[in-house]
Amino acid sequence: MTSTKAAALNLVTDHGASLGCAHCGQPVAGEGRFCGPACADAHALIHDLGLDAYYARRDAAAPTPTGEEAAPLDLSAAVETLPDGSHCLRLLLDGVTCGACVWLIESALRREPGVMAARVNLTTRRLSVTWSDAVEGKAERLAGIVRRLGYRPAVAGMDGVGDPHKQAERELVRAMAVAGFGMMNIMLLSVSVWSGHAGSMGDATRTLMHWLSALIAIPIVAYSARPFFRSAFNALKAGRTNMDVPISLGVTLATSVSLWETARHGEHAYFDGAVMLLFFLLIGRFLDARARGRARSAAEHLLALGRAPVMMLNDAGMAVPTAPAQVPVGATVLVATGERIGVDGTVADGVSDIDTSVVTGESHPQPARPGDRLFAGMVNLSAPLRLTVTACGEGTLLAEIVRLMEAAEQGRARFVALADRVARSYTPVVHAAALTTFLVWVLWVGLAWQSALFIAVAVLIITCPCALALAVPAVQVVATGRLMRGGILLKSATALERLAKVDTIVFDKTGTLTLGRPDLLPDPAIDMVDLELAATLARASRHPLSRAIARAAGPGPVADGVREVPGAGLEWQGPDGPVRLGRRGFVGPVRVPGGLIEGPELWLARPGRQPLRFTFADAPRLDAVAVVADLRRRGYRLALLSGDREPVVAAMAIRLGIADWRAGVDPAGKAAALAAMKAEGRHVLMVGDGLNDAAALSAADVSASPGSAVDVAQTAADAVFQGDRLAPLAELLEVARRADRLVLQNLGFSLFYNLCAVPVAMLGHATPLIAALAMSSSSLVVLGNALRLSRRREVRT
């Protein structure tokens, strides 16, 4: 290992954990941290200049790389400036195969000055790096660090071209086809050799068959094993190892031993086994890649929704196809019937129905009229529209949702940290186990070195920790994608883990158990003429009670000259005199009827007639009774804390069957009540208004809030569920508990597999071929178990 590569490796390790020099890894005499002054100076230079500048200085005399490594990477589309002034780089990575890769990349990037956070998602192979300083060329330096560690960064284009996942799958298919073709031909030759072992085949003929097999096998291995060889070479070149190092070593050893036996005119050659081993390794890698693709974040799907060009009107009034990211704010775009909207904007002209399910989770089409806000990813169903662009590219709501999902998928829950720690320490253990196995069989048992070598190869392959590294991320990705499809957005990476522990649920009333949208109550004293008169005034106001009257009356005209008196009501000069709609004191003396209904009210005053009272109620969500009953059946303790009046809160609690309720509780009182519950040892979920109940939401162990995706960046909750129903809350809790069980199952299976498979391989009961099948199958079992979470269970109502 060169000194520069050793420096790169030691830069990202804990100095106290090494038994050698903190720079080059060589033995240290005495109590020092370095083996000599040169290493001490080099190590200090790394910390003074940074890893990138250190490489630039040390490698200045090296020849310029050619080909793919020399090609500059345009990172302009991958860098985003965040609201707080920091910058974020998002890349796709090729060559990330295990938890050790994740740890190495993250550690190297976090050592760079100014870097605030770095996270690699093993399942999606996406890198996200955030830094605070505005140094020019910072993104290129960060990408250079990743490249020098042996990984290939890429920026996914808007059309998906250049996605390393798709390129890797195509390469695996080609390699698998070549290996399968070669395996069948070598097996035909091997059948002849096996048939001749009875004595009918001479040594010269057998050797000829072996050479023919070698002529087929060696080019096959050189071509089909490239995915493994390239990954292993890049890792070793950067002074590290990964899971492909033992696999490459095993395939190379099997082929080399066979060639050695053929050159010595030996009786046994294993070209058929080497190529078959490679073929099944490729099958496992391909199936693993496809399963990862299925488990890959729903964010992949969301990103694809914004790639289609939009029709932008230019200065001449011509519609020009334009990439969504290149549309300027304020431009006008045309959205045809059946077309997916590619930008955020407001309706400038046209009336249509919109499929909003991507953003809101709502399955029923929603009307869109001039002035309404629409977002990228929605589908125009009924009629053409013109939109005035308010955001495009990374500034759209869809992009914000994708960022939240990736943050949730990439978070480090305690199980992720455990799996990463185990995975990154496997390499020395695996190599030591394989070497020990070889020496024991040769020196102690007395087995021929060729056979002992094949047993060691089986150990190298069967101990690959793919299943362990995938145990947690695969579940996180599937769970996040399922919740997104149900209109639930996770804002916290550890929310699922905390939700799985919840035993107490505390509800707010207004806007949580209810819609927060008052509805006009039916009253026989109000006829359609009175309602329409009130509506002609109400349509001129955005007040919630005025909008409730307008909804009840339906579409209609707006009176000219309506004047809104802040905090009082609406006034209009009608043909017969002034007409007022508002509070009691605003409309004049009123006669309050007996048996007054508690709740909001508006009064309508007309010339020559008694004021007419309109009453309103904030009704519970349609499925609130059923969902609350279902949560109670699951064993959750339920409570209701509201700042509303006691009669209203009591009526709601009785209607929903919540025995523990309190009225007139302000935000500070809610936070105190939650703190008391936590002091009793309960794990509390607070469900409330994410914009107004921030203190109470923060006081709970975990929090959820109803709201639209528009509010998701402002709400203080860990999760936001959308729509007019409460069922997403039950779905969120169900997914969290199932995800927790699946993570434990995956970790348990991975540990059980290694505890069983390693002794079997070391005892010589597993050939390299069986080891390849077992290793691939373990990864597929873990991924398949995670994909079970995508199946929905019906919630009892």
Q: Which residues pair with 344 in a beta bridge?
A: 391
Q: Residue 266 to residues 209, 255, 261, 601, 642: CA-CA distances in angstroms?
A: 12, 14, 5, 99, 85
pLDDT of the residue at 732 = 92
Query: Is residue 258 predicted with pLDDT exceeding 60?
Result: yes
Q: Which of 297-301, 340-344, 586-590 has the highest mean pLDDT?
A: 340-344
pLDDT bucket at 629, cuts 50 / 70 / 90? very high
Query: Is residue 402 predicted with pLDDT exceeding 80?
Result: no
AA letter at 119: R
Contact between residue 747 and residue 468 where contact means Cβ atoms under 8 Å apart: yes
> Could you tell me which of 318, 319, 301, 302 has the C-alpha nearest to residue 310?
319
Q: How would you label 243-281 residue by residue, b for 16+ Cβ within 10 Å and e otherwise?
A: bbbbbbbbbbbbbebbbebbeeebeebbbbbbbbbbbbb
> Could you tell me which of 355, 357, 362, 363 has the C-alpha nearest to residue 338?
355
- Report how far residue 506's alpha carbon sits from residue 673's, in angstroms, rounded to the nearest whole number: 10
Query: Is residue 758 predicted with pLDDT exceeding 60?
Result: yes
- Report how far residue 522's alpha carbon sits from residue 548's, in angstroms, rounded to the nearest whole number: 12
Q: Which of 64-68, 272-276, 319-323, 440-444 has the highest mean pLDDT?
A: 440-444
pLDDT of the residue at 684 = 93
Query: Is residue 33 predicted with pLDDT exceeding 70?
Result: no
pLDDT bucket at 219, cuts 50 / 70 / 90? very high
Contact between residue 324 and residue 376 where contact means Cβ atoms under 8 Å apart: yes
- Report how far residue 644's alpha carbon sits from residue 741's, in angstroms, rounded to the nearest whole number: 39
Average pLDDT of span 769-787: 79
Return the H-helix or E-strand segment holding 352: strand 352-355
Tell me the pLDDT tens digit for each residue of 603-614. 899 888 888 889
**Ramachandran bin of 169, using left for φ above 0, alpha for ψ from -120 to 50, beta for the remaining angles:** alpha
pLDDT of the residue at 572 = 92
- The percent of residues above 70 in pLDDT, for the chain, comes to 74
Find where tokens 């006081």 sit: 699
Strands (E), 392-487: none
What is the DSSP annotation of 109-172? HHTSTTEEEEEEETTTTEEEEEE----TTHHHHHHHHHHHTT-EEE---TT-TT-HHHHHHHHH
The CA-based dihedral angle spanning residues 724, 535, 350, 309, taken in that order and rounded to the nearest 10 degrees: -30
Average pLDDT of span 157-166: 51
Position with higher pLDDT, 229 vs 149: 229
Tell me the pLDDT tens digit for each residue of 316-373. 778 888 878 778 888 999 988 878 888 889 999 888 888 776 665 555 677 888 888 8
> Could you tell me which of 56, 69, 233 has the C-alpha nearest to residue 152?
69
pLDDT of the residue at 427 = 62
- The percent of residues above 90 in pLDDT, for the chain, comes to 11
Cβ-proximal residues to 64 (8 Å cutoff; 6+ apart), any chain: 70
Q: Which of 49-58, 584-593, 624-633 has the lowest mean pLDDT?
A: 49-58
For helices 203-224 and 244-263, give the axis angle rounded to 10 degrees: 160
Active site annotation includes 508: yes
Both tokens assigned to 516: 């927060």
Q: What are phi and psi of 89, to 5 degrees?
A: -110, 130
Cβ-proximal residues to 91 (8 Å cutoff; 6+ apart), any chain: 75, 78, 126, 127, 143, 146, 153, 154, 155
pLDDT of the residue at 178 = 92
Long-range CB pairs of 692-700, under 8 A, 24+ apart, other chains included? 692/667, 693/508, 693/667, 694/667, 695/667, 695/668, 695/670, 695/671, 696/508, 696/641, 696/667, 696/670, 696/671, 698/671, 699/670, 699/671, 699/674, 699/675, 700/506, 700/674
Catalytic-labelled residue, pool 52, 344, 420, 508: 508
Query: Is residue 153 predicted with pLDDT exceeding 80?
Result: yes
pLDDT of the residue at 165 = 65
AA letter at 95: G
pLDDT of the residue at 775 = 74
- Report how far residue 108's alpha carbon sits from residue 8's, in angstroms, rounded to the nearest whole number: 8
Contact between residue 267 and residue 206 where contact means Cβ atoms under 8 Å apart: yes
For helices 203-224 and 271-295, give the axis angle rounded to 10 degrees: 20
Contact between residue 310 and residue 327 where contact means Cβ atoms under 8 Å apart: yes
Average pLDDT of span 666-678: 83
pLDDT bucket at 464, cuts 50 / 70 / 90? low
Q: What are phi and psi of 597, to 5 degrees?
A: -80, 130
Tell me the pLDDT tens digit for each residue of 507-547. 988 778 887 778 888 888 888 989 999 999 999 887 778 88
CATH class for the domain made up of 310-352+363-409: mainly beta
Find where tokens 């809104």 sit: 564
Return the H-helix or E-strand segment holding 347: strand 344-349
Position with higher pLDDT, 18 vs 497: 497
Q: Residue 290 to residues 121, 279, 436, 532, 788: CA-CA distances in angstroms?
A: 16, 17, 35, 60, 16
Contact between residue 621 and residue 725 where contact means Cβ atoms under 8 Å apart: yes
Both tokens assigned to 206: 């057998």
AA letter at 47: H
Position with higher pLDDT, 531 vs 68: 531
pLDDT bucket at 640, cuts 50 / 70 / 90? very high
> Could you tell me which of 777, 778, 764 has the C-alpha nearest to residue 458?
764
Position with higher pLDDT, 105 vs 302: 105
Half-sphere exposure of 743 (CA within 13 A, CB side): 23
Find where tokens 């914004």 sit: 306
AA letter at 105: I
Q: Which of 35-49, 125-139, 187-201, 685-699 has the lowest mean pLDDT?
A: 35-49
Average pLDDT of span 179-194: 82
Query: Is residue 143 predicted with pLDDT exceeding 80?
Result: yes
Q: For all residues of the chain together, what is the average pLDDT?
A: 76
Q: Which residues pair with 17 in a beta bridge?
A: none
Q: Residue 443 to residues 132, 433, 709: CA-CA distances in angstroms?
A: 58, 15, 67
Find where tokens 């002209």 sit: 349
Q: Which of 158-162, 278-282, 491-495, 650-654 has the highest mean pLDDT?
A: 650-654
Domain with CATH 3.40.1110.10 in the chain: 519-590+602-616
pLDDT of the residue at 663 = 85
> Could you tell me which of 76, 284, 23, 312 has the C-alpha nearest to residue 172?
284
Average pLDDT of span 238-242: 69
CA 237, 243, 248, 249 torsion-angle sign: positive
Position with higher pLDDT, 352 vs 667: 352
Tell me the pLDDT tens digit for each residue of 698-717. 788 888 888 754 455 455 67
CATH number for the region 519-590+602-616 comes to: 3.40.1110.10
Contact between residue 796 and residue 278 where contact means Cβ atoms under 8 Å apart: no
Question: Measured in Å, how far apart are the chain's first and last C-alpha atoms?
Answer: 64
pLDDT bucket at 627, cuts 50 / 70 / 90? very high
Where would I find the H helices in 264-385?
A: 271-295, 298-305, 357-360
pLDDT of the residue at 639 = 93
Query: Is residue 738 predicted with pLDDT exceeding 60?
Result: yes
DSSP symbol at 620: B
AA letter at 384: P
Domain with CATH 3.30.70.100 in the chain: 1-156
Burial class (CB in 10 A: 0-12, 13-18, 19+), 447: middle
Domain with CATH 2.70.150.10 in the chain: 310-352+363-409
Contact between residue 309 and residue 292 where contact means Cβ atoms under 8 Å apart: no
| Candidates 3.40.50.10800, 3.30.70.100, 3.40.350.10, 3.40.50.300; CATH matching 1-156 | 3.30.70.100
The residue count for the chain: 797
